[in-house]
Homo-oligomer: A and B are copies of this chain.
Amino acid sequence: MTYCVALTTAEGLVFASDSRTNAGVDYVTTFSKMHILTPADDRVFVLLSAGNLATTQEVLNRVNRDLEHNATTPNLSNVEYLFEAADYIGKISHAVQSDRGPALQASGVSADTTLILGGQIAGHDPGLYQIYPQGNYFAATEETPFLQIGENKYGKPILDRISRATPSLADGARLLLVSLDATSRSNAAVGPPFEVAMIARNACAVGNYFKLEADDPWLKNLQKEWNQGITNAFFALPRFSWEQSPVSVVGS
């Protein structure tokens, strides 16, 4: 399983991903699902992936081969708009799946991969696109500023509550980490290390990237404080009218 999430804020873009990969519960491994691409000085891309690992790696191999050998056809170094980058990646992803699909389907395995592509090309706004296995795509908006792929449900409620109130990249990074935390608590197939990358608006580069292992002291403290904060908020909720007020309870 996988959980990747990205957020667009006024300050720029934030990306986060887990690293747990499993082919059945008896083969659990660690693979990065965050791929940072800087094919030219005027642009930066972050690609998050959820789905068939071989498909995702082949997409990246073809993308990098195009950068080395196909300078005159569309590739990540020469597309003008971010949507063209999403379109280009979507076409490659669909082509890989078309190549591999029949053999995999015969074994009851899906070749699908779902991707989030975010970044900025100088002169244009930063943006986030979700790319479906079929190659089509849509962009995040101010109204719905986050995109999720993989195991998306456990971590969505906190995004629904907070995502439009996170003006800073740091708040955005904390938000994606607590969304990852909720998901990894509820689904054992999602787990650390967690990767986080941030792209400040108009920087056209990843300004901050870090990887948090399961035993990272800062991550453990964040998880502890978040759990305590939620627990405190829960036990401070309004009483029912039929409950005794705490001060009226006397020892028996």
Chain A contributes a number of interface residues (CB within 8 A of B) equal to 42
Q: Are A221's CB and B233's CB within 8 A?
A: no
A residues 206-252 with Cβ under 8 Å of B? Answer: 208, 218, 221-222, 225-227, 229-243
Which B residues touch A132, using CB under 8 A?
Answer: none
Known: A153-B154, A154-B153. A178 touches B222 (CB 8 A): no
Which B residues touch A230, using CB under 8 A?
Answer: 158, 161-162, 229-230, 233
Who on chain B is nearest to A207 by CB?
B242
Is A185 on the interface with B (CB-CB < 8 A)? yes
Q: Are A186's CB and B170's CB within 8 A?
A: no
Provide a sorted-by-A list of 11 A–B residue pairs whose CB atoms are within 8 angstroms: A155-B157, A157-B157, A157-B185, A162-B234, A218-B240, A226-B237, A229-B230, A229-B232, A229-B233, A229-B234, A232-B233
**Bound-complex Cα distance A232 to B236 (A):** 12
Q: Are B221's CB and A175's CB within 8 A?
A: no
**Bound-complex Cα distance A174 to B243 (A):** 12
Is A160 on the interface with B (CB-CB < 8 A)? yes
Which B residues touch A229, using CB under 8 A?
Answer: 230, 232-234, 236-237
Which B residues touch A221, using CB under 8 A?
Answer: 238
Identify 13 new A-B residue pairs, CB closer than 8 A, beyond the known A154-B157, A161-B185: A153-B186, A157-B183, A158-B230, A162-B230, A162-B234, A165-B231, A170-B239, A174-B237, A175-B234, A218-B240, A225-B236, A225-B237, A229-B232
Is A173 on the interface with B (CB-CB < 8 A)? yes
**Bound-complex Cα distance A251 to B112 (A):** 49
Is A80 on the interface with B (CB-CB < 8 A)? no
How many copies of this chain? 2
Q: Are A231's CB and B161's CB within 8 A?
A: yes
Is A171 on the interface with B (CB-CB < 8 A)? yes
Q: Which of B153, B222, B236, B240 contacts A237 (CB 8 A)?
A: B222
Is A182 on the interface with B (CB-CB < 8 A)? yes
Is A156 on the interface with B (CB-CB < 8 A)? yes
Q: Are B227's CB and A161's CB within 8 A?
A: yes
Which B residues touch A239, using CB under 8 A?
Answer: 170
A residues 165-207 with Cβ under 8 Å of B? Answer: 165, 170-171, 173-175, 178, 182-183, 185-186
The 10 closest A-B pairs by CB, nearest first: A229-B233, A153-B153, A157-B182, A156-B186, A170-B243, A174-B237, A233-B233, A160-B185, A154-B157, A153-B154
